[in-house]
Amino acid sequence: MKILSFDAYTLKWIAVVGMIANHVAIGLAPALPLAPLLILYAAGGLTYVIMAYFVVEGYRHTSNLKKYIGRLFIFGLIAQAFHPTVLGVTDMMGTGFFLNIMFTIILSLFVLLMYDKIKIRFLFWLLFVVACFVAMFMDLAFVGVLVPVLYYAIKKEGLRRTLPGIIAGTIFGVLGLLSALAPLIYLLTGELAVEVYAAAEMTGLSIELMVATPVFAIGCFLGAILIRNYNGERGKRAKWLFYVAYPLHLAVIAAIMVIMGLATFNLFGFISF
């Protein structure tokens, strides 16, 4: 008998809570003490590890892929109205406009479909690289596409449940350490202030978030442990949980940021007021 055992309903709730915590950390970073910021930011790491697993399960078991993608698109479009206000600082490509996680999931589903339909593996992997580049303009960048593919392609069940989260955690850990290096040097020595602020301006992240980025990996590793202990049971129905929670919590956080004077409302990334 396993000490840890989670059904799908419980895991999805954990993922939603982790997502909200991470976005609170990002949106309210300048107003949060460092310790709570690190904890809240780390919680987000487990979210996509869990959600990516269930995206793959949804792809495998959905009776209508078009409707599945349609729901993601509709709620993603609604969420996009608030997304730039809350998560604009995580725009890795510096375009001023990037798409939310719903669109990352949609892209992932198309990649999974290509994996099934394209029998010439070289061609698939070539298109996969293209998809990873497109994902750089979306939440979680190329990792957001890589994780579902790993969950789908790895055949050995024990390895399939743990390896994607470990790989995601390793990637985010390395990238996070690179992002945090300059601020950490500054915090420890008080030197390189100009270089630190230049790096922050270049990445779009605040100093606080640059310091926090490595802990995202902790959540990814924790997500791998949780998925490892998934008992295969659905539990209570939670079909609309993520769809509704995603745009709703972004709207609330965006409102709080505007009220606190931490941001101006940036509608769809095009109109600020």
**Amino acid making up residue 95:** T
User: Which residue did the predictor score with more confidence, 96 or 154?
Assistant: 154
Q: Is the pTM higher than 0.75?
A: yes
Q: With bands split at pLDDT 50, 70 and 90, how would you rate the model's confidence at 1?
A: very low
Mean pLDDT of the residues in the chain: 88
Average pLDDT over residues 22-48: 92
User: Which residue did the predictor score with more confidence, 112 or 184?
Assistant: 112
Cα(199)–Cα(210) distance, integer angstroms: 9
Q: Is the pLDDT of residue 126 over 60?
A: yes
Q: Is the pLDDT of residue 228 over 80?
A: yes
Contacts (Cβ under 8 Å, ≥6 apart) of 258: 85, 264, 265
Q: With bands split at pLDDT 50, 70 and 90, how would you rate the model's confidence at 2?
A: low
Do residues 197 and 231 make contact, with C-beta atoms less than 8 angstroms apart?
no
Do residues 259 and 31 make contact, with C-beta atoms less than 8 angstroms apart?
no
